[in-house]
Amino acid sequence: MRALIVDDSRAIRGIVGRIVKQLGFEISEACDGKDALIKLGEKDADLALVDWNMPEMNGLEFVQAVRADASRASMRIVMVTTESDISNVQQALEAGADEYLMKPFTKESLCEKLSLIGIEVST
């Protein structure tokens, strides 16, 4: 399975990438939503882990763009962000995010979220 990690922080992409690799995913990275759409055009992903606050195209805009493309309907999207306001969570889920995970998070909490959206991983 392939995972796309979308975050403007290289350090965060590295941390999330290590965890996701440990779960058995092949990973690719993008620094914002626009870059992520380009990466998806090159190679599809089964899962996107997306930050909210990014330049160029934020996470919410990325979710909306992906969900507007019927060919990507099966891709699972988890917002991974520090945005904790319940209205942000609601907005992301209404836009088409499958789950919402607060930073900082643990490998276990990520596994729980993935399980909730039908992605079983071995830890």
Q: Is residue 81 part of a domain?
A: yes
Mean pLDDT (whole number) for 51-61 = 95
% of residues, the chain, pLDDT over 90? 93
User: Residue 92 is encoded by which pair of tokens?
Assistant: 């992301």
Banded model confidence at residue 83, pLDDT cuts 50, 70, 90: confident
**pLDDT given for residue 84 in this prediction:** 85
Average pLDDT over residues 51-64: 96
Using the predicted structure, report yes or no on whether residue 109 has a pLDDT greater than 90: yes
Residue 12 lies in a domain: yes
Q: Is 63 domain-assigned?
A: yes
Domain with residue 79: its CATH number is 3.40.50.2300
Query: Is 28 within a domain?
Result: yes
Question: Would you say residue 18 lies in a domain?
Answer: yes
Quote the number of domains for the chain: 1
The pTM assigned to this predicted structure is 0.95
Find the domain containing 15 and state its range: 2-113
Is 119 a member of any domain? no
Question: First and final CA of the chain: distance in angstroms?
Answer: 15
Task: Tell me the per-residue pLDDT of 35-50, one tens digit each, with 9 for 90 and over.
Answer: 999 999 999 999 999 9
Spatial CA neighbour of 56 closest among 3, 4, 8: 8
The reply to whether 122 falls in a domain is no
Q: What is the DSSP letter of 24?
A: T
Q: Is residue 118 part of a domain?
A: no
- Which residues are CB-contacts of 68 (< 8 A; sequence separation ≥ 6)? none
